Amino acid sequence: MKRANLPLGKVLYEAGQAVSCVTFPANCIVSLLNYTVDGASAEISVVGNEGVVGIAVFMGGESTPNRAVVQSAGWAWQLPAQILREEFNGCQHTRMMLLRYTQALIAQMAQTAICNRHHSIDQQLCRWLLLSLDRLTGNELTMTQELIANMLGVRREGVTEAAGKLQRLGIIHYKRGHIEVLDRVKLQMLCCECYEVVKHETDRLEAY
């Protein structure tokens, strides 16, 4: 494994591109994004220190239809794809760990689809903030409203309005791309059930 510094916005792989190495985030967050033909995007899941970026390597697909972009800067461990593939095939313990993580990731993707379709932008923003906080050591994020809008697949004006509501309620403090969560309990109270569904499934599979 090699340590790699991952700045905000770095692309780990593009849609359709063969994954040459897998990435294990340490204190950064990576977003998996899908795009339409006209360039619109939406985040389908986030990966932090609980997981690995590049599951196509051991799932047999070699490449995926999504793009992997660093959402929160930090560092990670990277491993050549072939080495992980050999470990996956040769070690039952490693194989089961990776498959359980993949199940948790699929659950997150499925719940994100439900949330984006049926819940308000306010609730989606709360879910996104909570999932991000779970993968960071503190309560602060560096992210512009434009980037959040791209992640959620909504208009920037909607994110501005939703963030403004949270700030007026004293739940977050937002200034120039810097978000500080002041009251996580209230943030969870305003969130839809999607966050708890994803967290419960992730915790359940990690407990094995």
CATH number of this structure's domain 117-206, picked from the four choices 2.60.120.380, 1.10.10.10, 3.40.640.10, 2.40.110.20: 1.10.10.10
User: Please, are residues 205 and 162 in contact by the beta-carbon 8 Å criterion?
Assistant: no
Tokens coding 139: 């309560």
How is the chain split into domains, by residue range? 2-115, 117-206
CB-side neighbour CA atoms (13 Å) of 81: 16
d(CA 144, CA 102): 29
pTM of the model: 0.90
d(CA 176, CA 23): 29
**Per-residue model confidence as pLDDT tens digits over 86-129:** 999 999 999 999 999 999 999 999 999 999 889 999 999 999 99
**Per-residue model confidence as pLDDT tens digits over 9-34:** 999 999 999 999 999 999 999 999 99
What pairs with residue 77 in β-bridges? 3, 24
